[in-house]
Amino acid sequence: MVTVRTTAMTMYKNDIEDLIRQRKSVRSYDGNKVSMEQKKELLEFAKDLNNETYEFEIIDIDLAEGVKIGTYGYIKNAKTYLIAIADESLGSDNEMAIRFGYDFEKLVLKATDMGGLGTCWMGMSYKENDITRLVGTDSSKRIAMVSPLGVQKGKHLMERITRSVISADKRKKFGDLFFLIKTGKVLLMMEVLVIMPMYLK
């Protein structure tokens, strides 16, 4: 039996297609921590996404001047981070890894939905040992993903260079990403939102 998890999908205040188009990686922040109310709302949203393989947490980190939590795009002045903690099995389970990416993006879009909180997938550019120590996870867990969380403040020089190098503002057309392989039929946004969860049992 296929279980379609749609609870989180109905919790956005704004149209999800608008959120997807609005959301962009943010690497420069205003230096303020995310409020307790916003953290609570995001963590409440995450309850529907947490499972036996991975879960999401939000932590505040005060770094010494000049110290960076990661290297991707030179994240600047972020004080709050969204952290994904997972079992080691996540790396060897392709279906679960796809679900994880899908769920992490749901959280990212929820942050966008909450007054435009900025985020940036950091991939493996962060220092996992340092974050593990800050979060206090045990040896059977790993940090699967990290994203700064907060209000954007301009774009510093390195961010502008990074966005230019990776062509961050040149997005693929929707039809190039979502289509039926057998027929080539381009899917509509609502069709994608219905079909994708069906593959995430």
Residues 6+ apart with CB under 8 A from 56: 43, 46, 49, 50, 82, 83, 84, 85, 103, 104, 107
Burial of 198 (0-12, 13-18, 19+ CB in 10 A): exposed
Nearest CA to 148 out of 86, 65, 63 is that of 63
CA–CA separation, 25 and 14 (whole Å): 19
Using pLDDT thresholds of 50, 70 and 90, give the confidence band for residue 96: confident
Residue 56 pairs in a beta bridge with 84
State the fold for domain 8-170: NADH Oxidase (3.40.109)
- Please compute the mean of the pLDDT values over residues 24-52 and round it to a whole number: 93
- Give the number of other CB atoms < 10 A from CB of residue 126: 22
Which carries the bigger pLDDT value, residue 65 or residue 187?
187
Determine contact, residues 111/42, Cβ cutoff 8 Å.
yes
Query: For all residues of the chain together, what is the average pLDDT?
Result: 79
Q: Which amino acid is at 22?
A: Q
pLDDT digits (tens, 9 = 90+) for 129-147: 777 777 777 777 888 899 9
pLDDT digits (tens, 9 = 90+) for 155-183: 656 656 665 666 666 667 777 877 877 88
Using the predicted structure, report yes or no on whether residue 119 has a pLDDT greater than 90: yes
The region that residue 19 occupies, defined by phi over 0 for left and psi between -120 and 50 for alpha, beta otherwise, is alpha
**Residue 48 bridge partners (DSSP):** none
Question: How sure is the predictor about 196, in pLDDT bands with cuts at 50, 70 and 90?
Answer: low
Q: Which residue from 136, 163, 197, 165 is spatially nearest to 27, judged by alpha carbons? A: 163
Domain boundaries in the chain?
Answer: 8-170
According to DSSP, residue 131 is labeled H
Confidence of residue 8 (pLDDT cuts 50, 70, 90): very low
Token reading at 90: 């996540």
